[in-house]
Structure 1
């Protein structure tokens, strides 16, 4: 699921409490403005509050959807026959999203061409302080810049809210083909790869939360880590 990823050290430098992430989009804008600064005194912004993905990609849809849904909008009408992006709620969400870049300047120049890796790189280089990302943001950022100490510096919190709390998620599933020559073996493999033991390993190795509640929800092993 998409969450708000925050650099706690940059929060401290801006006088913001890392333990109090923005809960609404209005607060998010205030935080982003405080985190958009000229750090070297050359009268040019070199750190931005928000790492915005604007390039056409599944990565954009994942990160833009929480804006639309939170404002009460949607992509399609209830009958799934027409676009709903012209409703007042959707237009308000789109306008707010665009204003972060055009009006308030809290996202780096060129955001309309940035994909997920670009923004993760900006996060790793501390060019941006916040972005909308997923559970695997920390390990990817750590691979880009091990010196940052991503697991200590970056924290996750819920995506900000406008009218309702909602986010998006990238879902995957293990599927056994009805034409499989070895369905029983495939089922045994599926049970193994989704077992608690393997899901714990996936969490530890990739820092990705499991769909199993006994792993990501209440597992003592994860709580201890």
Structure 2
């Protein structure tokens, strides 16, 4: 079991997980299944938290619980004070699109859209108002991330670093309270890893978003406000 005390700051954390357990059934012929348990975790606005630990310890499970794509067997997951257990799939999807940004290791950009169109995609998918003000925010994000001059460039003409910057702009364009990142530097060369991570952390802080990031890049951990090791944490 893992437990992490909340940080002090905002009276209501963006993400609050309390005494959760999620059980994976055993594969046929492979003995016992896997049970993920977490005593307590909270993340405040503007806070950046890295999640580390050995393979199979539940890092991806934690992100999926935070996103509401997995529901715990016991315990609670709250996003901006809303208990996700009380939401149906339609309401959960709407909340996810409105309040959570995602950054993936493999970028998950659409090749038939250009940089700006990819960054604006959450507005279309979430039925959010994509007016001139929203577009201006996204363009400003692209400029801050150093790719404003590439806004009309097709995705297949971007470098890996430029693609990840586009993905960061997509994640933060709707001003979500929470950003979940799964190995955001995993597909980048060593010279780009810290540059891209600092762009992600800096942009999240500028937008006052909470960031929860799974990473294996231990040499980058000093850039985060807090580090959670799921391989060593003990219950609170």
Compare the two structures and name the one with the higher strand fraction: 2
Normalised by the shorter chain, which TM-score bucket? under 0.3
Which one has a bigger Cα radius of gyration? 1
TM-score by length of 2: 0.25
TM-score by length of 1: 0.26
Compare the two structures and name the one with the higher helix fraction: 1
